[in-house]
């Protein structure tokens, strides 16, 4: 038998259940055609080399299997009709696998190891997402606090013209008695002038 690898890229927002459903369909194709599935290598979300259908990232998976070659078109057909699959590529890894059972055992051990790494990667992704959410919440809180301070500052500035108006009013009120007192001062000056005139005449 020959060994093949089919790598396919799934839209990044597809859930783990959706990816599992795709893998189950491919397993069904392999089983129907008498091929032997070795393992899935889940490489997680990665940035694409170029944008595909407005997507900049994709979830990469590789299916490794043994077959004489007849199952390859069926696997690719199943991927082609799935709208959530962005791209796929099949390569021939080995022209002839001598010990199929040994290769299956090796693949099982490798799949277990990669599943463990995938779980660790998922945990890291969850931690990163939680940290990003916390930072976003903190930024929103700081923005709200800054807006509140700005609003208080605007309120204080709007009160200042009223204080100036009150000060002007008080100044005018204080100045008014001086204006009213002015005629009395003039009258007193005229009386003093008359008194001086009479003294000179006398």
Q: How many CB atoms lie within 10 A of CB 97?
A: 16
Domain-embedded: residue 47? yes
Domain-embedded: residue 113? no
Q: Report the domain count for the chain.
A: 1
| Residue 176 predicted with pLDDT over 80 | no
- Give the CATH number for residue 33: 3.30.70.60
Higher pLDDT, 10 or 170: 10
Which residues on adjacent β-strands are paired with residue 66? 3, 36
**CA dist., res. 6 & res. 90, Å (int):** 4
Domain-embedded: residue 51? yes
Domain-embedded: residue 142? no
Q: Is the pTM of this model over 0.85?
A: no
Residue 46 is part of which domain span?
Answer: 2-98
Domain-embedded: residue 74? yes
pLDDT of residue 168: 55
Question: What band does 167 get if pLDDT is binned at 50, 70 and 90?
Answer: low
Domain-embedded: residue 38? yes
Domain-embedded: residue 146? no
pLDDT in tens, 91-113: 999 999 989 999 999 999 988 88
| Residue 61 predicted with pLDDT over 90 | yes
Which of 114-118, 132-136, 176-180 shows the highest mean pLDDT? 132-136
Q: How many CB atoms lie within 10 A of CB 75?
A: 23
6, 63 contact by CB (below 8 A): yes
Domain-embedded: residue 155? no
């Amino acid at each position: 038998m020959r060994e093949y690898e089919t790598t396919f890229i799934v839209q990044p927002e597809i859930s783990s259940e959706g990816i599992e459903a795709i893998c189950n369909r491919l397993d069904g194709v392999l089983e129907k055609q008498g091929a032997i599935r070795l393992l899935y290598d889940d490489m997680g979300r990665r940035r694409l080399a170029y944008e595909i259908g407005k997507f900049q990232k994709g979830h990469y998976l590789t299916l490794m299997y043994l077959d004489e070659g007849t199952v390859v078109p069926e696997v690719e057909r199943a991927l082609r009709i799935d709208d959530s699959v962005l791209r796929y590529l099949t390569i021939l890894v080995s022209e002839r696998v001598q010990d199929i059972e040994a290769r299956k055992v090796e693949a099982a051990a490798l799949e277990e190891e990669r599943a463990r790494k995938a779980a660790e990667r998922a945990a890291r992704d969850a931690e990163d997402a939680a940290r990003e959410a916390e930072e976003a919440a903190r930024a929103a809180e700081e923005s709200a606090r800054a807006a509140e301070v700005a609003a208080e500052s605007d309120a204080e500035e709007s009160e200042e013209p009223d204080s100036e108006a009150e000060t002007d009013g008080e100044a005018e009120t204080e100045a008014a008695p001086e204006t009213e007192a002015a005629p009395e001062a003039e009258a007193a000056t005229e009386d003093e002038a008359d008194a001086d005139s009479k003294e000179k005449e006398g």
